[in-house]
Amino acid sequence: MTTIQGPAVFVAQFIGDEAPFNTLEGICAWAKDLGFKGIQLPTTDTRFIDLQLAADSQTYADELKGKVNAAGLEITELSTHLQGQLVAVHPAYDQLFDGFAPEAYRNNPFARQQWAVQQLKAAAKASRRLGLKAHATFSGALLWPMVYPWPQRPAGLVETGFAELGRRWLPILDEFDAQGVDLCYETHAGEDIHDGISYERFLTEVNDHPRACLLYDPSHFVLQCLDYLEYIDIYHERIKMFHVKDAEFNPTGRQGVYGGYQPWLDRAGRFRSLGDGQVDFKAIFSKMAQYNFPGWAVLEWECAIKNSEDGAREGAQFIKDHIIRVTDKAFDDFVATAANPTFNNSLLGI
């Protein structure tokens, strides 16, 4: 068995324009002070990482890693969630997602998609230069407007959508394979890969690509009413990343999964700071240890109620308290019988 690494923190939700959240050195010092051992880096803010330069220059990658190490931390993974979203965008969301891309690529869906693909390939190279083994992203979505089958979906629509999604991602997956890095899709609402069935459909289209892996975040499954523990049993061989995020689902006579277009604070399903929601993290960490999860336990703070800095401080200790230092011996070793083939044969009557 393997002891999970951590605690670490995904800093995307903490980056800002005021110190210590406006520089890499500042946010590293803040994270270290709270007890984190690693940071997961988004790749859209050049104050923290120049993604293309990290892909092209080993010197720059070493300097970047050195800054984080000097603070007593490690880079756990890079994230291209926003760029991955742009690999596949249904036209209904073009204007809403344009803000995820640089201004030069807006109002031009083809150019925006090509930029996103280049960003993912750069992330594969940058991850390799940084010595990382896994990378986080979204799949994007061509079918999400049709997620509910009303009006009735035309025959072949879903198959066509997943075939195109696979076509777009296969060259990216091949690049990650060439760099020796697992590409981990966060199964998330708004993505064509949003649960196990949709992930399996995608795997079929990319020929069960060995680098098409998963970022496990139980909070999204609470909001979908999906069994997040059995999900680990089914997909543990593909789970290479772990966001530790809490959530709650409290349906009423007025609203359920869809939330009635309510803001996050008023929805039946909402994200919470660690320990304030309904996720059974003791069971999750046990399963992760049982299945030899190879990566980091990374806090992702998203809460409609609690202050972010309080959520981070409490979250670091919460993760630390839940990481299981796995045993190196069996509890009943004290009564073990030494190996003796003759004695075993005698016991079996052979």
For residue 84, the one-letter residue type is G
Contact assessment for residue 191 and residue 185, using Cβ atoms and an 8 Å cutoff:
yes
- CATH code of 5-348, in short, is 3.20.20.150
Report the candidate in 84, 102, 101 with the shortest Cα–Cα distance to residue 140.
Answer: 84
The predicted-structure confidence for 285-323, as pLDDT tens digits, reads as follows 999 999 999 999 999 999 999 999 999 999 999 999 999
pLDDT of 332 reads 74
Tens-place pLDDT, residues 218-232: 999 999 999 999 999
Question: Are residues 181 and 127 in contact, defined by beta-carbon separation less than 8 angstroms?
Answer: yes
Domain ranges within the chain, ordered by starting residue: 5-348
What pLDDT sits at residue 339? 85
Output the pLDDT for position 329. Answer: 81
For 7, 12, 22, 263, the CA distances from 317, given in Å and listed in that order, are 8, 20, 24, 29
Q: Which residues pair with 9 in a beta bridge?
A: 39, 299
Return the pLDDT at 121: 98
pLDDT per 10-residue tile (average), the chain, 350 residues: 95 97 98 98 98 98 98 98 98 97 97 98 98 98 97 97 98 98 98 98 98 98 98 98 98 97 98 98 98 97 97 98 90 78 91
Residue ranges in 269-307 assigned as alpha helix (H): 281-290
* H-assigned helices in the chain: 24-34, 51-56, 58-70, 81-85, 94-97, 109-129, 157-179, 196-205, 218-224, 228-235, 281-290, 308-322, 341-348
- Global pTM reads 0.96
What confidence score (pLDDT) does residue 8 get?
Answer: 98
The pLDDT value recorded for residue 248 is 98
